[in-house]
């Protein structure tokens, strides 16, 4: 077989926020497309108008923009295979439904919901298939004139796929290997509904993958049960030769216990399951997102890439380019991937360390603003460099480094009890004088003079430093003392000391 151009697609239904599992599906499609110099299509599968949620499409697009996943074609990107929104492709689907009707691979069915319910009540485990279609109201049982008359009258109908029973259907999956099921377990799936003149997911999905020349269908495991039906549809159209290769990705599992990851797990354990914050337009409910929770997009990508795939060694931190190089569908696992959200936090920490301080500082500036602080950018960069190894989120920089920007107004009681001695006020007053006399207020400059002074006076270094820290920070935390006083500068350092001496005496 000649090598086909790699064309893959991400095809969400705009029914709400994009689940993190969907983000991983899109990511794997993206990595696969880039690695093979192929194309990634963004298609909107909105044939189920009942489930349409306004804003969902925009939300999905914004999510990928934030994450750095780019599409080559599709809704909002253009391309030669459009339109890419299924609700705008009605005429195309009608034509293909007719092809199946004309070749006898599909038929028209008039059974009303009530009639179907009655049959279900009458026959245990009723399924509309080869064994039952002969007793239903459809174009196989009614005379042609009757069928035409019903349609002319405007009676609602559906078109069903006529599945031949007792046939083994083989699905070759790049991850799961060969999956075989017998066609008798399938029902005659509805492919089209006259009520809204729209196809169902199955027909639209197959027709579009064919017309858009999709080479590989990489999607979540939940679609594996549909794959045999899809194989049969390709065959019914005579498109076997260009049928895409399937790859069904493993499920994302709960962080603890069994079963598939749900939004409730996120709510319970405190992690987002959506890329961006989502405001549900129907319920008004707000769900947290990775972006708003302070994750860096690179960290989210890296974290998701390893949920169901690994590079074959213990390398964990990988840039998008490295992932594109290393990704391999054959290394995707069949079994579900535990959603270890703590690993996501670990990745965020790693990326904060890896990124230039200037970049992290830019993200810290709005946090400072929210606390009413405007500081020179240089100072923010310096503080970030000193403190970022202590945090996993940018906002946590405020907790560990806020004192660099706001002088303490209170002094932690416990620390005072432990660290502020009888002679501390006197020693600090002396130290302030020593510091005031230093011209070179660099870290080394201060250290040399202060250490000499301590030695000369015979003071206890620990006692001096602990009291000094209390005056500048207000508690017992923080980096190296002279790092702090250097960042604060002489004037601010002396002012803080003066105030602490007054308050603590
Ligand atoms: N519209 C389907 C979804 O929402 C797409 C499934 C597929 O990729 O075939 O996930």
Nearest atom within ligand 1 for CA of residue 13: 4
How far is the centre of ligand 1, averaged over its atoms, from the C-alpha of 229 (Å)? 14
How far is it, in rounded angstroms, from Cα 424 to Cα 415?
13
Q: pTM score, two decimals? A: 0.93
How far is the centre of ligand 1, averaged over its atoms, from the C-alpha of 227 (Å)? 12
Average confidence (pLDDT) per 10 residues, the chain, 505 residues: 86 96 98 98 94 95 98 98 97 98 98 96 96 97 98 97 97 96 97 95 98 98 96 98 97 93 95 97 95 96 98 96 97 96 98 98 97 98 98 97 97 96 96 97 97 97 97 97 98 98 93
Q: Which residue among the candidates 94, 254, 263, 477 is catalytic per the annotation?
A: 263
Give the pairing type, strands 216-220 and 198-199: unpaired
How far is the centre of ligand 1, averaged over its atoms, from the C-alpha of 7 (Å)? 16
How far is it, in rounded angstroms, from Cα 492 to Cα 490?
6
Residue nearest to atom 5 of ligand 1 (CA): 11
The pLDDT tens digits for 161-214 are: 999 999 999 999 999 999 999 999 999 999 999 999 999 999 999 999 999 999
**CATH code for the part of the protein at 413-504:** 1.10.10.350
Q: Is 263 a catalytic residue?
A: yes
Q: Which of 1.10.8, 1.10.10, 1.20.120, 1.10.12 is the CATH number of 355-404?
A: 1.10.8
Residue 17, Ramachandran bin (φ over 0: left; ψ between -120 and 50: alpha; else beta): beta
Task: List residues near ligand 1 (CB under 6 A).
Answer: 11-13, 45, 205, 217, 219, 223
pLDDT of residue 2: 56
Tokens of 334: 């069949």
Nearest atom within ligand 1 for CA of residue 22: 10
Residue 257, Ramachandran bin (φ over 0: left; ψ between -120 and 50: alpha; else beta): left
Going from N- to C-terminal start, the domains of the chain cover: 89-249, 263-351, 355-404, 413-504
Choose among 336, 396, 338: nearest CA to 363.
396
How far is the centre of ligand 1, averaged over its atoms, from the C-alpha of 204 (Å)? 11
**CATH code for the part of the protein at 263-351:** 1.10.1160.10
Q: Which fold has domain 89-249?
A: 3.90.800
* Residue 417: Cβ-neighbour burial (10 angstroms; 0-12, 13-18, 19+): exposed
pLDDT of residue 3: 78
Degrees, nearest 5: CA angle 161-166-167: 75
């Amino acid at each position: 077989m000649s090598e086909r151009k790699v064309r893959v697609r991400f095809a969400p239904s705009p029914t709400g926020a994009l689940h993190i599992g969907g983000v991983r599906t899109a990511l794997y499609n993206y990595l696969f497309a880039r690695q093979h110099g192929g194309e990634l299509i963004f298609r909107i599968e909105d044939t189920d108008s009942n489930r349409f949620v306004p804003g969902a499409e925009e939300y999905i697009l914004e999510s990928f923009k934030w994450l750095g996943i780019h599409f080559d074609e599709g809704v909002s990107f253009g391309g030669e295979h459009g339109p890419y929104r299924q609700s705008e492709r009605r005429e195309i689907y009608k034509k293909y439904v007719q092809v199946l009707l004309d070749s006898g691979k599909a038929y028209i069915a008039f059974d009303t919901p009530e009639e179907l319910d009655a049959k279900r009540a009458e026959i245990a485990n009723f399924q509309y298939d080869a064994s039952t279609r002969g007793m239903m109201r459809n174009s196989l049982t009614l005379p042609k004139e009757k069928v035409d008359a019903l349609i002319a009258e405007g009676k609602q109908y559906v078109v069903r796929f006529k599945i031949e029973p007792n046939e083994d259907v083989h699905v070759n999956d790049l991850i799961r290997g060969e999956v075989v099921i017998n066609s008798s377990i399938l029902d005659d799936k509805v492919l089209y509904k006259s009520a809204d003149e729209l196809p169902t997911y199955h027909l639209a999905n197959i027709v579009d993958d064919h017309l858009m020349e999709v080479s590989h269908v990489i999607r979540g495991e939940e679609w594996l049960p549909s794959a045999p039906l899809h194989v049969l549809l390709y065959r019914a159209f005579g498109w076997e030769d260009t049928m895409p290769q399937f790859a069904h990705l493993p499920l994302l599992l709960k962080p603890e216990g069994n079963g598939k990851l749900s939004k409730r797990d996120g709510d319970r354990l405190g992690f987002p399951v959506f890329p961006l914050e989502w405001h549900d337009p129907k319920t008004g409910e707000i769900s947290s997102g990775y972006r708003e929770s302070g994750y860096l997009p690179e960290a989210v990508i890296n974290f998701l890439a390893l949920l169901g795939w690994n590079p074959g060694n213990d390398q964990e931190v990988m840039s998008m380019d490295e992932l594109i190089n290393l990704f391999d569908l054959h290394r995707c696992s069949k079994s579900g991937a535990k959603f270890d959200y703590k690993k996501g936090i670990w990745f965020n920490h790693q990326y904060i360390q890896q990124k230039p301080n200037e970049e992290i500082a830019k993200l810290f500036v709005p946090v400072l603003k929210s606390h009413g602080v405007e500081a020179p950018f240089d100072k923010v960069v310096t503080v970030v460099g000193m403190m970022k190894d202590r945090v996993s989120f940018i906002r946590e920089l405020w907790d560990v480094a806020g004192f660099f920007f706001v002088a303490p107004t209170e002094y932690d009681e416990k620390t005072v009890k432990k660290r502020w001695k009888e002679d501390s006020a006197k020693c600090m007053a002396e130290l302030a004088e020593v510091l005031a006399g230093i011209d070179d207020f660099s870290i080394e400059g201060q250290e040399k003079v202060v250490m000499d002074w301590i030695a000369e006076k015979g003071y206890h270094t620990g006692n001096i430093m602990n009291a000094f820290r209390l005056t500048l920070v207000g508690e017992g935390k923080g980096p190296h003392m002279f790092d702090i006083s250097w960042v604060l500068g002489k004037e601010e350092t002396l002012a803080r000391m003066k105030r602490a001496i007054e308050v603590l005496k």
